[in-house]
Amino acid sequence: MGRFISHLARFLTGIEIHPGATIGRRVFIDHGMGVVIGEMAEIHDECTIYQGVTLGGTALVKGAKRHPTLERGVIVGANACVLGGFTVGAGARVGSGAVVTKAVPAGATAVGNPARIIEASQDAQREAAAAKMGFSAYGVTQGDDPVALAMKGLIDNASGHEHQIAMLWQAVEKLASRSRELPGRDDCVPADAQTTENFDAQSLNRLVK
């Protein structure tokens, strides 16, 4: 009976859901033509799946979990393929056309073929560092453009170096304040020592324009 209902639903809607799949509450399949959900797939509550999505497997090992688990609130974009018996964490996003073959952490985004994992925390840290420099890191693409990747590296590197230099000067300043108490000791901290974190935003903005 389950198989008959599955075939009937596929004929009427274009959505193929194996009778063995586990579907939670408030799962929304938008423009569902071409969606395929495998036998061992598990879709938790409040997930959203767009047209052409495949929740499939990559192996035929008997008894093994072959299809993915989507935790609560996952969104899978159009024509994406999520292949394998792993878990896509709660609140994660799978971009349109992505081919995901490994676990996606909660709140992360998977894009591309093969999919690359973009951690939300890393993006937030990069944006905070870029804000100090006077521009937005979201102006840099998340793709494979080598210039964009180089810019991301420069942002992270410059921010880290500036922080380390500021901490070094702060340590030197503390030592210098003690040495001033000794007779015949001059101040060893230069007047132009950078003890706070600053950045030349104008020069960096010229690079990204």
pLDDT of residue 42 exceeding 70, the answer is: yes
* Type of residue at 119: E
pTM: 0.58
What's the pLDDT score for residue 54?
Answer: 94
Phi-psi region of 97 (alpha: psi -120 to 50; beta: other; left: phi over 0): left
pLDDT of residue 76 exceeding 60, the answer is: yes
Stretch 34-41: mean pLDDT, rounded? Answer: 91
Residue 132 contacts residue 156 (beta carbons within 8 Å): no
Could you give the CA distance from residue 28 to residue 14 in angstroms, rounded to a whole number? 15
Q: Per residue in 166-197, pLDDT tens?
A: 777 777 777 777 665 655 555 555 555 555 66
pLDDT of residue 88 exceeding 90, the answer is: yes
Q: Per residue in 134-144, pLDDT tens?
A: 554 444 445 55
What's the pLDDT score for residue 209?
Answer: 46
Give the number of C-alpha atoms closer than 13 A to the C-alpha of residue 46, restricted to the C-beta side. 6
Share of the chain residues as helix, strand and coil, in percent rounded to the nearest 5: 35, 15, 50
Please state which architecture CATH assigns to domain 2-118: 3 Solenoid (2.160)
Phi-psi region of 204 (alpha: psi -120 to 50; beta: other; left: phi over 0): alpha
Residue 60: pLDDT band (50, 70, 90) is: confident
pLDDT of residue 126 exceeding 70, the answer is: no
What's the pLDDT score for residue 137?
Answer: 47
